[in-house]
Amino acid sequence: MKTKTILILLAFALAAGVFNACKKDVAPANEPTADAVNDKINMLLGNFTNNNETYKSGKWLKSGDKIDFDSVLWYIDGAINFNYASGHYSFERIHKDVIYVEVPVDPDMKALLTNVFDSYNESLLRIGEKYYANTGEYKKFIMATVSDAGPLPDGKRKLRVTTLTGTGLATQSGDFGNNESYHYDRLANYNCDDQAVPGAPIIFDAKLLNHFNTAAPNGCRYYFAGDSVAVNLIYANYRINPNVPLTNHLDYKIFAAYENIYPFSFNDDIVCLEYNQWNSGIHEMQFYYDHLKALVVANKPFNKSFAYSEILSNIEGNSPDRIIYHEPKFVYKLKLISCEEYNPYFPTE
C-alpha cells in the first residue's frame, strides 16, 4: 500500500480511537521514519502492549475483535522489538536463533486478537529460553523478525521468529592491524596462528552492525519493526577487473579463492585473510570490509535501514578445482526510535 494511503488510514484510525483497540486493517509498511509516523507507530505498539497486559489480567472485554494476518505479523514483530530490543551496542559476537509459534486464523485470514496475544506471549517465553541459553558477557537482545512459515492443520498459521542477540564487547575497532589474521570459515574458532578468534564472517557481521547501528540520543534507543527486505549477493557479480580470472589476489569485492593454484590445496595463504598477502600492501580483511560497507549502502531499499547481515562461507566444485567464497545476506527493516523505558529481560513463565 502506498505511503500516502497508509498515513491517511493512520490519521483516520487515530481520530476514531481505533488504535486503542489495536484494530488496523492494514499493517504499516515502508513508511519514512518521520517524527509523526515514528510517534504513531510507537503509540500503536504501546497500545498493543497495554491491551496485552489487560488481557493477561483477565480484564479484556473485546473477545470477538479480529485483525488481519498481515497485522498479526506486524504487531508481534513490532511489540517484541518495541519492548525488548536495543541494538546500538558494539558486540564481539552475534547469535542467531529461531523459534516457532502458531496462531489460528479464519478462512478470511483474520485472527482473534486474544489468540494474537497468546501467540505473542508464547513467543516471549520461547525467545527467552534461547536468549538465556546464549553465554557471554554484556548480553543484549538486538532484534526479532517475525515471518509467515506457512499453513498448519486446523486453520492455523506457523510463525517463524528469528532473533539476534549480541554478547561481548567488540575487540576489533578501527582498521585491521598488520598482525591480525582470520580464517575465511564462518564456523572457525581459531585463526591460522592457532589463536582463539572467530571466523572472518562473524567479524564482518559484528563490524557492519556496529558501523551502521549507531547509538541513539541520550535516553533513547533505536529498534527495528515491520517487514524485512533481504538482499543476497553473489561474489561472481562483483569482479573488480572483468578481464582478470580468479587468482586469489583480491579479484572480487566479496571474498573468493580458487583451489587450483600451487600447491593445489587450500593452504594457509588461501584460507587466511591477513596483511600483505602476496605482497599486496593491504589487509585482506580491510579490503573486503570496506567493500561490504559500500555494498550495504548500494543495495539499501527505499525507506528501509540496514538491520543486520549474515555472511555465509561456502565451498563448491570438485578438487582440484574447488572454490571457497563468502555469500553475504543484508537485511533491511524500518528503523524507529523510542525514548520510553523498555524491559531487557524476557519472561520465564
Sort 35 into a burial class: Cβ within 10 Å, 0-12 / 13-18 / 19+. Answer: exposed
Q: Which of 104, 114, 105, 9 is nearest to 51 (CA)?
A: 114
Which residue matches cell numbers 543486520? 308
Structure-block grid coordinates of residue 329: 545476506
CA 162 to chain centre: 8
Structure-block grid coordinates of residue 146: 517475525
> Does residue 326 have a pLDDT over 90?
yes
**Mean per-residue pLDDT for 112-121?**
97
Sequence ranges of the domains in the chain: 182-337
Which residue matches cell numbers 573486503? 288
For residue 104, say if its preceding peptide bond is cis, omega within 30 degrees of 0: no
The packing angle between helices 284-298 and 200-212, to 10°, is 50
Q: Which of 60, 53, 157, 175 is nearest to 108 (CA)?
A: 157
SS3 132: helix
**Mean per-residue pLDDT for 218-239?**
93
Neighbours of 110 (CB within 10 A): 15
Q: What percent of the chain clears pLDDT 90, i.e. is strictly above it?
A: 59
**Mean per-residue pLDDT for 101-109?**
97
**Mean per-residue pLDDT for 315-340?**
92
pLDDT level of residue 171 (50, 70, 90 thresholds): low
Q: Which of 107, 97, 100, 270 is nearest to 200 (CA)?
A: 270
Give the integer Cα–Cα distance in Å for 324 and 307: 26
Strand 66-68 to 110-112 pairing: antiparallel
Q: Which segment of 48-57, 177-186, 225-234, 317-326 scores lowest on mean pLDDT?
A: 317-326
Q: Would you say the pTM of this structure is higher than 0.95? A: no
**Mean per-residue pLDDT for 113-139?**
95
Strand partners, 97: 163
The packing angle between helices 69-84 and 113-133, to 10°, is 40
Mean pLDDT of the chain: 86
- The pLDDT of residue 267 is 73
> Does residue 262 have a pLDDT over 70?
no
Structure-block grid coordinates of residue 206: 559484528
Q: Which of 65, 226, 230 is nearest to 145 (CA)?
A: 226
Give the integer Cα–Cα distance in Å for 255 and 175: 18
pLDDT level of residue 269 (50, 70, 90 thresholds): confident
